[in-house]
Amino acid sequence: NGLFEDNDETISIEEGDLQKEVVITGNRITTSKNGIVVVGNRSNQVIAGNTIEHITGVAISVSDPHSSFLIDGNTISTGSRGILVSDGNGTIVNNLVSRQTSDGIVVAGKTQILIAFNTVVHSVIGFASQNTKAQFLNNIAYGNTTAGFQALRQKNDIGYNIAYHNGVNFEMVDYGSFHDLGGNAVIDPLFVSDTDYRPTATSPCINASGLFTTTYDVLGDLRDGLPDIGAYEWSLSNPL
């Protein structure tokens, strides 16, 4: 097993390094080419609670058709590409990705992926599925210059997502399409500010999720019985 904590530089795990379980948590990685890279490891992978910023390559990259993974509660800001999964089966949940010069969260290859309760803002493409089938539930895409959600060459399930102020909110490219599960909206999520992506008390994100639930938000705070859409949970104990 491998446990990686409190690192401040690129964490790279390649084929043959470890074979059972990899846990990468609580690291702050800044001003590097890549953040966390896991390739061909044939393991269960947990990448959670990391802060990654000013990356010129990819903040989190997973490529392993034989693995299962959980990418949970990471904060990624000011870089090139946020989260890239090019092979593997798993869940991307409760992540905040902001200000990327390419994709916020992109999945490709032979994957079965649930992407839920993430917030992607001020990037080029918020969420992208490239030639793979994915399920997008309870996410926010805001202020992305090309597209909020993009489907390329495959049909993707989407439900209870909010897209607003993107170049195109829901874009279908080269025979890609969306299967609408309901609850999707083009509406202002009403963040605290343009740099603080928590919902305010009047946000349409509050108690508006569906089809999937999660226990904690990106900060590790407990979610309500009906969680809010996006990476953050609004709470009466911390009203804004």
Each residue of 95-126: pLDDT tens digit? Answer: 999 999 999 999 998 778 999 999 999 999 99
For residue 107, the model assigns a pLDDT of 95
102 touches 79 (CB < 8 A): no
For residue 71, what are the β-bridge partners? Answer: 47, 92
Beta-carbon contacts of 121 under 8 Å, excluding residues fewer than 6 positions away, are: 97, 98, 99, 104, 140, 141, 142, 143, 144, 197
62 touches 88 (CB < 8 A): yes
Q: How far is CA 153 from the centre of its chain?
A: 21
127-146, pLDDT tens digit by residue?
999 988 899 999 999 999 99
Rounded CA separation 44/30 (Å): 25
189-224, pLDDT tens digit by residue?
999 999 999 999 999 999 999 999 999 999 999 998
Q: What is the pTM of this model?
A: 0.95
Instruction: Tell which wins on pLDDT, 62 or 19.
Output: 62
For residue 7, the model assigns a pLDDT of 62
Rounded CA separation 82/128 (Å): 11
Question: Worst-scoring range by mean pLDDT, 18-22, 91-95, 178-182, 183-187?
Answer: 18-22
Instruction: Tell which wins on pLDDT, 66 or 209.
Output: 209
User: At 129, which amino acid appears?
Assistant: S
* The dihedral sign for the CA sequence 212, 218, 223, 226: negative
Classify 70 in phi/psi space as left (phi over 0), alpha (psi -120 to 50) or beta: beta
Rounded CA separation 106/209 (Å): 22
For residue 108, the model assigns a pLDDT of 92
Sheet holding 119-121, edge to edge: 28-32, 51-55, 75-79, 96-100, 119-121, 140-142, 162-164
With CA atoms as reference, report the closest residue to 18 among 38, 48, 32, 36: 38
Rounded CA separation 196/194 (Å): 6
